[in-house]
Amino acid sequence: MSHFDVELDTSGLNCPLPVLKARKALSEMASGQRLHLIVTDAGAHQDIPAFSKMTGNPLIESSENDGTLHFILEKGAE
């Protein structure tokens, strides 16, 4: 897994909470910093890439391990 600055575990939470919490975490980060987002909501497969695309916070990496999804998002320029 690539390097990250902040970790956010949303395990057990369902749509739309992972997206809302990711948004909040990113808003408190400086641009260029990376967020490790952990999600168990299966809809996140599609939702997090959509969120990344629409908000301009690039998705650096994604992986799945035993039903748990891991995303590395980089905070984009303000």
Partner 1 sequence: MAKKLAIIASKGTLDGAYPPFLLASTAVALGFEVKIFFTFYGLQLLNKNLNLKVSPLGNPAMPMPVPVPSIVQVIPGLEWFATWMMKRKLKQKGVASVEQLRDICVETGVDLIACQMTVDLFDFNEEDFIDGISSGGAATYLEFAGDADVTLYI
Whole-number Å distance between alpha carbons of 30 and 61:
19
Counting contacts by CB under 8 A, is residue 51 touching partner 1?
A: yes
Give one word for 67, left, alpha or beta, with left for phi > 0 and alpha for psi -120 to 50.
left
If we measure between CA atoms, which residue out of 40, 34, 38, 39 comes closest to residue 4? 34
Binding-site string for partner 1 from residue 1 to residue 40, where x marks contact by CB under 8 A and - marks none: -----------xxxxxx-xx-xx-----------------
How many residues interact with partner 1 (rule CB under 8 A)? 15
42 binding partner 1? (CB under 8 A): no
Cβ proximity to partner 1: between 50 and 64 the closer is: 50
SS3 label, residue 17: helix
Q: Is 58 in the site for partner 1 (CB under 8 A)?
A: no
CB of 45 to partner 1, least distance (A): 16
Q: Which two tokens stand for residue 52?
A: 């990344």
